[in-house]
Each structure stands twice: as structure tokens, then as C-alpha cells.
Chain A
Amino acid sequence: MWSVIHKMGSPPWFYRFAGVFLRWCLPLALAGLLVGALWGLFIAPPDFRQGNSYRIIFIHVPAAVVALAGYYLMAFAGLVSLVWKIKMADTAMRAVAPVGGALTFIALATGAIWGKPTWGAWWVWDARVTSMLILLFLYLGVIALFEAYENKAVAARACAVLALVGTVNIPIIYKSVDWWYSLHQPASIKFTGESAIDSSMLYPLLLNIGAFYLTFACVVVLNMRAALMNIHRQSAWLTQELTHP
């Protein structure tokens, strides 16, 4: 396990890994998004209460799920950066922040669009909506904090601490609908027992969640590779990789 971590920390190894990973996973991710969108929009049946407006679930839920999982990835990268001082972990942490922030924004925006016809309001200061807004500010905070320091080693340490402190928000978002009276409905997908969502809607939803995860991974790897190329733009190995791929 340690050898894998050490390999991941080596820029030339990661550069080559990124090339192979993207060659296979990027087309798969885009195909998943396309099939998921078509399945969700045209094949899945309308809902018995909400009609067609529920179809926004196929974007809203995957975006929110991956935004939460992405935060754990960013915080874990922050922990590795803080404890082991691996530069690649800083790069990973910085690569996740804008992607996670964008997904959080998508979840909030689609939630508002969905909220208007179903709840009757664009925005409600419901526990889950509010904690999701805090998640957006945490992602934006990590981006802003990194840019605020001239010394990038200090910046990475400050960002890692902020990311770690923010992890407390993730279980709050996840459990908010069970802990407090809120306007959000409880979870429809259950890991144990029967889901409250019909299987004709559950399968496209799961496909979309998978496609969002894969797209997230691809964009993060693309971001990391771009950051590496910027950092090592004068290194001999990069010149060699680019001239003799």
C-alpha cells in the first residue's frame, strides 16, 4: 500500500497514469452521462404525483451525492498533505475544490428550480438547503484561501486545516432530514431494505450517479495533470513525455 502512495506521489508516474486513465474513463463517463440523460428524460416513466417535473432528480441527486463524496476526497488529500507533506496531495486537494464547488452549485440551482413547482418556493432555509450552502462556501473558501497566500506551502497547510474542519458538515447534510423537521423528504434510496423509488426510476438514477462519479474523477485527474504540467514545465521528464509520448 505504501509503495502505491509513493508512486502516486511521483509526478512522471502520475502523468502517465492520467493519460491511460483518461483514455478509457473519459469516453465511458461521457457515454454514461448521455445514456443516463436520455434514459431519465425519455424512457423513465413520469411520477404519479409530480408528473414530469421530478425528472430533474437525475441531475440534482447525482450532483449532490458526488459533491459530498468529493469533499471527503478533498479533506483526505488535505490530511495526507498535512501529515506526509506530499506535494501531489496539495495538487489533488486544489484540483477537487472547483469541481466540488461546481457540483454543489448545480445541486443548489436544480434544487431551487425543482422547489418552485413542488414546494411552492425557490428557496427555503431548510436544514439541508442551508448546510448545502455552507458546503458551497467551504469549497469556495478552500479556493480563495489558497490564492490568499504568497507562500504556497503555508497556503496548502491552511487549506488542509479548513478542509478537515469542514468535514463535520458532511454527516450533517446527510442526516439533516432525519434529525430535524425539514421540508426535504427523507432518503428514497436505501442501502438496506426496499427503496422508496420504483425500480424503473431507480436504475437510471443509479446510472446517472455512477456517470457523475466517473466524470468527477476524470475532471479532477485532468485538473491535476494541468497543474503538474504547470509546476514541472521546465522539467526534463515532461519535455521527454511531450516529445516522445
Chain B
Amino acid sequence: MHPKRQQRLIIALVIVLLSSATVGLVAYALRGNINLFYPPSEVVAGKAPLGRNIRVGGMVVDGSIKRSTTDLTTTFIVTDYAAEVTITYTGILPDLFAEGEGVVAAGVLDTAGILVASEVLAKHDENYMPPEVAAALEGKQPRTGTAKIYRNGEV
């Protein structure tokens, strides 16, 4: 290779390496701030600030959703399977919000450790499948002819 081209190639590679190292160090220094949310175990361990707007993300615990009968307030518990945080929210929840699904809630922690959310986002997972496959995986695929019985609520 021509020495002049070689020199230019080295300069170009050094530019790429140095800029990558710079961005890498910045990202490393900001690693806590780039996370979109705190998992419940960090909230319970006291790593999340009180009285400030934060986000908490986790899975909604089965059977923990309690809806108010008078307004749109919903209370539910999220878990990362290490710790749990109770969240209360007044408003319309996204379509994918359900027990056993992921959510990210933005709000303020009160002194009792309950997150008073101003926004609840659904975090869906990477699994995509047709409904029949999902039903088969759950092991409750309705056989043809029995669907009517299921619909009437009597098995």
C-alpha cells in the first residue's frame, strides 16, 4: 500500500477508535441514567429517590389488580421476582396491560413506598405467535364443539 494511503487509513481508524472510546466512557458514566426505569428490587433497597418523578418497571403480579368501583383508580403490584412495589394509577390503561405482563409506570414514590403513577406504559415481550399456538402452549386449546360450553361458563 502506498505510504500516504496507509497513513490516511491509520488516521481514519484512530478517529473511529477514539470516538468510540469517548462515547463508550460517556455511556459508562451515565449508565444509571440511560435506564428507562428502576426494577422493584432497587426501589425496595432505597436506590430510587423519594418525592421525585421516577419510573418503575416489572411484571404485574397475578391476582394483584384491584379496580375501584367509583372511579378509574387501579392498584396493582409489580415484581422483578426479587421484590415487589405497589402502584396506584388513575386513568386509562393501555390495551396490553394485564396480570403477568410487563409494565413501566412513571410517578412519585410516597413515604409508604407506594408509587403514585401519572402514566402507565405496557412493556410487551419479544414473543409473537398466532392465538392457536398460544392456546396450545397454555394447554387449554378448546376442542371443536366444546367452544359453546366454555362460552356459557359451564364446563
Q: State the A residues within 8 Å of B (CB).
A: 45-50, 54, 57, 79, 82-84, 117-121, 124-127, 160-161, 164-165, 167-169, 172, 179-183, 185-188, 196-198, 200-201
Contact = CB atoms under 8 A, between A and B. Distances in A.
B45 interface: no
A84 to B, nearest CB: 6
Given A48-B129, A119-B122, A121-B121, A181 B35 contact: yes
Most chain B CB neighbours (cut-off 10 Å) among A50, A82, A117, A183: A183
B71 interface: no
A183 B123 contact: yes
A161 B15 CA distance: 8
Given A117-B95, A121-B121, A168-B24, 5 more contacts: A47-B130, A48-B133, A165-B15, A181-B35, A196-B125
Top 4 A-B residue pairs of the complex, sorted by shortest distance between their CB atoms: A120-B94, A45-B130, A48-B134, A198-B129
B93 A167 contact: no
Interface of B: 5, 8-9, 12, 15-16, 19-20, 23-24, 27, 31, 34-39, 57, 93-97, 101, 104, 119-135
A183 B121 contact: yes
29 contacts: A47-B130, A48-B129, A48-B135, A49-B96, A49-B101, A49-B124, A49-B134, A79-B9, A118-B96, A118-B122, A120-B95, A120-B119, A121-B119, A121-B121, A126-B36, A164-B19, A165-B19, A167-B16, A168-B16, A168-B24, A172-B27, A180-B34, A180-B36, A181-B38, A182-B36, A183-B104, A185-B125, A196-B127, A197-B128
B16 A164 contact: yes
A84 B5 contact: yes
Contact of A119 (B5, B31, B35, B94): B94
Nearest to B92: A120
B37 to A, nearest CB: 5
A50 B124 contact: yes
Nearest to A127: B34
A187 B35 contact: no
A126 B34 CA distance: 8
Contact of B130 (A46, A126, A183): A46
Given A118-B122, A168-B19, A172-B23, A83 B9 contact: yes
B12 A83 contact: yes
B24 to A, nearest CB: 8
A64 B130 CA distance: 24
A181 B36 contact: yes
A33 B26 CA distance: 40
A179 B27 CA distance: 10
A168 B36 contact: no
A46 B97 CA distance: 18
Given A47-B129, A50-B124, A196-B128, A183 B36 contact: yes
A198 B123 contact: no
B16 A47 contact: no
A118 B34 CA distance: 22
A200 B104 contact: no
Contact of A188 (B8, B38, B127): B127
Contacts of B125: 185-186, 196
A189 B32 CA distance: 28
Given A168-B23, A180-B31, A183-B121, A124 B36 contact: yes
A174 to B, nearest CB: 14
B94 A165 contact: no
A151 B68 CA distance: 68
A164 B36 CA distance: 28
